[in-house]
């Protein structure tokens, strides 16, 4: 071998050693970076081209930013940092408010949710992402299309979430081929119904831990429970609103590790909750609300000592509240509401309730009696709902019970129609975190205390149908978060304070049927840009605005009965294109109704 050949070979081996050492060093230091694989980048681009994207959520998916590197800053794309393969697509609607599952009273919130929906067509180019293990398209709107059958070829998927994404029709049974799935979400398609003939295909998903079929039509799947019983790894099962009406025979459940079970909004009419549920000792969440369960609350439930959430509301239970509930040392949320035959007293059944309780709802039952003093020790309480419960107590006493440690965390207090009397006192100022206060339809008789203005977190406040007197305090103008204010059917007098015009978050304002007097000026209304319902009927008010005034709001309901707004229909109503209910009887209008008024507002009372 020539000297030159030997030298060349030695140089090559030296360079190879340097390269190998450097590469190993990069990997060991975690500093290596492999960019997006070209074929997968092209697959994502084809996928994007078939989508509609009103809010341009996927603007970062282009060929310019990061030289088209989909692993760098493309929204929702997660790659393997060593191989560059696309592993995950997180394309869930980023707006948290879902109008179909949340209480949405703000059209702006709904609009933001709607604009953030992806739609269009799902391109089969996803099949080129052969290493994809995670796909989330939930809470978008694919406008009634069927779930693509080609999903069944994405055999590496461990997570598939299509909940609330606007799919309809038959769920492809080929999804049962995705044997690696641990999470399957197909629920909450409220506007378009998904359905199945049977659930036998689920038996192929032996690794499944989370199954959500909420609102999927399972009425023809008589073997639903027997099939699900073949999923031993199941931890979460959500079958709310699935049109289920009976339980197939099952003594013991194989999915003994189940932690969350939701069978709400079905048509179960058994007098006893099925015994297999009583054996789910790891259960922390049980929701059976809105069924037709009858008889006593079953004693077998006391075996579920790890429960944190128990919802038995809107059934036909007719017993008293069982004493064994007090033994639930972890219980945070308890709802027995709308069991209209449920009876007993609060003091004898619940005064020793676990100190972990955060939400207590006993509304619309036959439970009665005073709130016991011991409730003042339930320091974690965030929500107390006792509407339609016959408390026969003074409101000052109730506030006194909750004014200790409870007041620091309490967020919602609903005592509507609870036979409360007495005076609303300055103890209210202790409840700094209160966002909902409902005392409607009681016999509270006093002026509204100035201290109410200290509740800076208050969003909803209802004191209607009481015996309140005196003026509306100017301090209400400090409640900058207030959305709903109802003081109707009281004996409030004097003028409406100008400070109410500072409530820029206000949506609903009802001051009707009091003894309010004086003028409503533009300054009262100038900052109420979000107002949708304005109700001041039954007072002696005069609406005084300039002839060219343009309201800052778009109303849906307007009640001005018995107010002086005449002699003509106010011209500013011409701008209220969203108005669907108008009451202006006895408002001193004597001139003819203009032709434009009937065209814009066909639903009104004069």
In the chain (606 residues long), the average pLDDT of successive 10-residue segments reads 56 50 38 81 96 94 76 94 96 74 57 87 97 97 93 97 94 96 88 85 96 95 93 96 89 91 91 82 96 92 94 94 87 96 80 82 94 90 96 94 93 97 92 97 95 94 97 94 97 94 95 94 90 95 86 93 83 88 81 65 48
Burial of 310-332, coded b for 16+ CB within 10 Å and e otherwise, reads bbbbbbbbeebbbeebeebeebb
Three-class secondary structure of residue 316 per DSSP: strand
Three-class secondary structure of residue 303 per DSSP: helix
The two three-digit tokens of residue 379, written as one number: 């320091």
Other CB atoms closer than 10 Å to residue 12's CB: what's the count?
10
d(C-alpha 529, C-alpha 472), whole Å: 21
Predicted local confidence at residue 37, as pLDDT: 94
Residue 476's nearest CA partner among 501, 492, 452, 495 is 452
The two three-digit tokens of residue 600, written as one number: 């814009």
Three-class secondary structure of residue 384 per DSSP: strand
d(C-alpha 483, C-alpha 295), whole Å: 41
Vertex 352: Cα angle to 349 and 357 (nearest 5): 100
d(C-alpha 260, C-alpha 272), whole Å: 20
Q: What is the dihedral of CA 511, 411, 373, 315, to 10 degrees?
A: 90
Burial of 160-192, coded b for 16+ CB within 10 Å and e otherwise, reads bbbbbbbbbeebbbebbbbeebbbbbbbbbeeb
Sheet strands (E) in 491-575:
491-494, 508-510, 515-521, 533-535, 540-544, 557-559
Three-class secondary structure of residue 365 per DSSP: coil
Predicted local confidence at residue 26, as pLDDT: 36
Write the DSSP assignment of 235-274 as a string of letters: -EEE-TTS--------SS-S-TT--EEE--SS----SS--
d(C-alpha 7, C-alpha 531), whole Å: 86
Q: Is the separation of the CB atoms in 441 and 487 below 8 Å?
A: no
Three-class secondary structure of residue 520 per DSSP: strand
The two three-digit tokens of residue 34, written as one number: 């492999």
Under 8 Å CB-to-CB from 4, ≥6 apart: which residues? none
Predicted local confidence at residue 25, as pLDDT: 35
Predicted local confidence at residue 22, as pLDDT: 36
With 0-12 / 13-18 / 19 or more C-beta atoms within 10 angstroms meaning exposed / middle / buried, residue 132 is: buried
Cα torsion 501, 505, 509, 511: sign? negative
Under 8 Å CB-to-CB from 102, ≥6 apart: which residues? none
Predicted local confidence at residue 23, as pLDDT: 37
Three-class secondary structure of residue 378 per DSSP: coil
- Using the 8-state DSSP alphabet, how is residue 91 labeled? -
d(C-alpha 237, C-alpha 214), whole Å: 9
């Amino acid at each position: 071998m020539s000297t030159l050949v030997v030298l060349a070979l030695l140089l090559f081996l030296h360079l190879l050693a340097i390269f190998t050492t450097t590469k190993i060093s990069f990997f060991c230091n975690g500093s290596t970076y492999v960019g997006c694989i070209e074929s997968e980048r092209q697959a994502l681009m084809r996928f994007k081209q078939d989508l509609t994207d009103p809010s341009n959520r996927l603007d970062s998916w282009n060929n310019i930013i990061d030289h088209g590197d989909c692993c760098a800053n493309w929204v929702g794309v997660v790659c393997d940092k060593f191989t560059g393969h696309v592993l995950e697509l997180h394309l869930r609607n980023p707006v948290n408010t879902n109008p179909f599952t949340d209480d949405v009273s703000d059209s702006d919130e709904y609009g933001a949710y709607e604009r953030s929906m992806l739609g269009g067509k799902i391109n089969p180019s996803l099949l080129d992402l052969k290493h994809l293990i995670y796909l989330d398209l939930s809470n978008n709107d694919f406008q009634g299309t069927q779930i693509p059958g080609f999903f069944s070829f994405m055999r590496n998927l461990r997570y598939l979430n299509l909940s609330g994404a606007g799919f309809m029709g038959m769920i492809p049974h080929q999804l049962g081929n995705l044997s690696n799935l641990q999470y399957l979400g197909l629920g909450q398609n409220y506007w378009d119904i998904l359905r199945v003939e049977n659930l036998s295909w689920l038996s192929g998903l032996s690794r499944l831990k989370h199954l959500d079929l909420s609102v999927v039509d399972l009425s023809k799947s008589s073997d639903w429970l027997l099939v699900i019983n073949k999923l031993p790894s199941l931890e979460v099962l959500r079958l709310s609103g699935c049109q289920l009406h009976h339980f197939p025979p099952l003594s013991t459940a194989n999915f003994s590790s189940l932690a969350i079970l939701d069978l709400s909004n079905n048509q179960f009419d058994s007098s006893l909750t099925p015994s297999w549920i009583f054996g789910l000792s790891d259960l922390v969440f049980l929701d059976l609300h809105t069924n037709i369960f009858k008889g006593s609350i079953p004693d077998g439930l006391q075996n579920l000592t790890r429960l944190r959430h128990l919802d038995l509301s809107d059934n036909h239970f007719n017993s008293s509240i069982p004493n064994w509930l007090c033994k639930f040392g972890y219980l945070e949320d308890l709802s027995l509401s709308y069991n209209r035959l449920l009876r007993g007293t609060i003091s004898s059944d619940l005064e020793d309730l676990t100190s972990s309780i955060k939400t207590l709802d006993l509304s619309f039952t036959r439970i009665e009696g005073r709130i016991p003093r011991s409730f003042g020790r339930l320091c974690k309480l965030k929500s107390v709902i006792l509407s339609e419960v016959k408390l026969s107590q003074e409101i000052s006493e109730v506030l006194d019970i909750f004014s200790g440690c409870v007041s620091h965390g309490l967020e919602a207090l609903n005592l509507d129609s609870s036979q409360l009397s007495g005076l609303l006192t300055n103890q209210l100022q202790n409840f700094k975190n209160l966002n909902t206060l409902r005392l409607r339809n009681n016999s509270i008789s006093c002026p509204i205390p100035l201290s109410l203005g200290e509740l800076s977190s208050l969003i909803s406040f209802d004191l209607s149908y009481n015996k309140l007197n005196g003026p509306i305090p100017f301090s209400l103008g400090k409640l900058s978060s207030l959305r709903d204010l109802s003081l109707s059917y009281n004996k409030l007098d004097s003028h409406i304070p100008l400070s109410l015009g500072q409530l820029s978050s206000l949506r609903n304002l009802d001051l009707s049927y009091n003894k309010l007097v004086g003028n409503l000026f533009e300054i009262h209304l100038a900052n109420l840009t979000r107002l949708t319902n304005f109700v001041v009927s039954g007072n002696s008010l005069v609406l005084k605005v300039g002839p060219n005034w343009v309201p800052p709001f778009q109303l849906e309901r307007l009640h001005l009965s018995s107010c002086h707004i005449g002699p003509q229909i106010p011209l500013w109503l011409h701008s209220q294109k969203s108005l669907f209910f108008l009451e202006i009887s006895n408002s001193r209008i004597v001139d003819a109704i203009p032709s434009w008024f009937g065209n814009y507002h066909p639903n009104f009372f004069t």
